[in-house]
Amino acid sequence: MLAALLVMALGAVVLGAALGFAAVKFRVEGDPLTEKIDAILPQTQCGQCGYPGCKPYAAAMAKGEADINQCPPGGDEGIRKLADLLGREYKPLSAEHGVEKPKALAVIDEQRCIGCTLCIQACPVDAIVGAAKQMHTVIAAQCTGCELCVPVCPVDCIDMVPVAENITTWKWKYPVVAIKPVTTQ
């Protein structure tokens, strides 16, 4: 009995010492995982996930505090990529965080804009330009469609307009699997 205890104690001491040494010797700083997760997120910075931006959400996921299905703009595709990266099971978008919508851009009705600058302050990517008491306008190329400017506008002059397809952004559709011979026009 004593021998057993001694052996186990010896083992514990030796292994503990080795691990303690290794923990100091091979210490790692930083967290490359957050960056990788952040690279998948769509960077709309919309906050629908419940975090104040994509990076904080990424950090929360890296720590295991947040789930992978809280990003509506990233959509199904984004969740799949996150599941892949983090080795978790895919799950559908959580309804409480919103629904996936087609990409839209904010457009300010310049007739109604009173130049209050509230939307400018709300825009996370500085995509709205204008000055106090001057009408504002959205730089379309920089707008992420996060909708954060919509609720703050006191005169409801901001609309989200879905992005229309044109010749350059048009995509070939998924080939429809024809089960019956296609009938011609």
Partner 1 sequence: MQLFDFNGGVTPEYHKEASTQSPIAVSPAPSRNGLKNFLVIPLHQSIGGTPRPLVSAGDRVLKGQRIGAADGDMSSAVHASTSGQVVAVEMRRMPHPSGLSALCVVIEADGRDEWIARQPFDYHQHTAAETRDYLRDAGVVGLGGAVFPTHLKISPGKGGKLDTLIINGAECEPFITCDDLLMRERAEAIIQGVVILRDLLAAGRALIGIEDNKPQALAAMTAAVQAGGHQDMAVVAVPTRYPAGGAKQLIRVLTGIEVPHGKRSTDYGVQCFNVGTAYAIHEAINLGQPLISRIVTVAGNVAAPRNYAALIGTPLHTLLANSQPLPDTDRLIMGGPMMGITLPGDEVPVVKATNCILVGSPRLFPPPPPEMPCIRCGECAKACPADLQPFELYWFSRAKIFGKAQEYHLFDCIECGCCAYVCPSHIPLVDYYRFAKSEIWANESEKAAADQAREQYEFRQLREAREAQEKAARLAARTAAGRAAATNALAMAPVTAPAATSAAASAVTSAATPVTEPAQTPSPQAALIAAALERARAQQVQPANTTNLTPEQQAEIAAIEARRAQIRTQAHPHLPPDD
Partner 2 sequence: MTSYLFIVLGAVLVNNVVFVRILGLCPFMGVSKKLETAIGMGAATTFVLTMACGTSYLIDRWLLMPNQLEYLRTLSFIVTIAAIVQLTELVIQKTSPMLHQVLGIYLPLITTNCAVLGVPLLNIGMQHNLVESLLFGFGGAVGFTLAMILFAGIRERLEGADVPVHFRGTAIAMITAGLMSLAFMGFAGLDKYK
Partner 3 sequence: MNNSPYLRQATSVQSVMLRVLFALLPGIAAYVWFFGAAIVLQIVLASLTALAAEALVLHLRGKPLAIFLTDGSALVTAWLIALSFPPLAPWWLVVLATMIAIIVAKHLYGGLGQNPFNPAMVAFALMIVAYPQFMSRWPGTDAIDFATQWQIIFGLHANQALDALTMATPLDALRTALHSTNATTVTVASALAHNPAIGLMAGRGWEWIAAGHLIGGLWLVQQRIITWHLPTAFLATLFLLAGLASTINPSEFAGPLFHLFGGGAMLAAFFIVTDPVSAATTPYGKLIFAAGVALLTWIIRSFGAYPDGIAFAVLLMNIAVPLIDMATQPRVFGHKKNGSNHHG
Q: How far is the CB of 100 from partner 2 (least distance, A)?
A: 21
* Closer residue to partner 1 in complex, CB, 68/148: 148
Q: Does 182 bind partner 3 (CB under 8 A)?
A: yes
Q: How far is CA 62 from CA 30, 31, 35, 55, 169, in A?
A: 12, 8, 9, 10, 34
Q: Does 8 bind partner 2 (CB under 8 A)?
A: yes
Q: How far is the CB of 35 from partner 1 (least distance, A)?
A: 11
Which of 5, 24, 95, 183 is in the footprint of partner 1 by CB under 8 A? 183
Q: Among residues 158, 97, 98, which one has the least CA distance to residue 127? A: 158
- What stretch of H or E contains 2? helix 2-25
Could you tell me the two tokens for 159? 């609309």
All residues at 6 or more sequence positions from 177 whose CB lies less than 8 Å from its CB, including other chains? none
* Closer residue to partner 2 in complex, CB, 36/55: 36
Eight-state DSSP code of residue 108: E
Q: At what angle do helices 32-40 and 54-62 cross, to 10 degrees?
A: 130
Q: Does 173 bind partner 1 (CB under 8 A)?
A: yes
Q: Does 184 bind partner 3 (CB under 8 A)?
A: yes
Q: List residues near partner 1 by CB under 8 A.
A: 38, 41-45, 53-54, 117, 120-121, 124-131, 134, 142, 144, 165-167, 169-175, 177-185
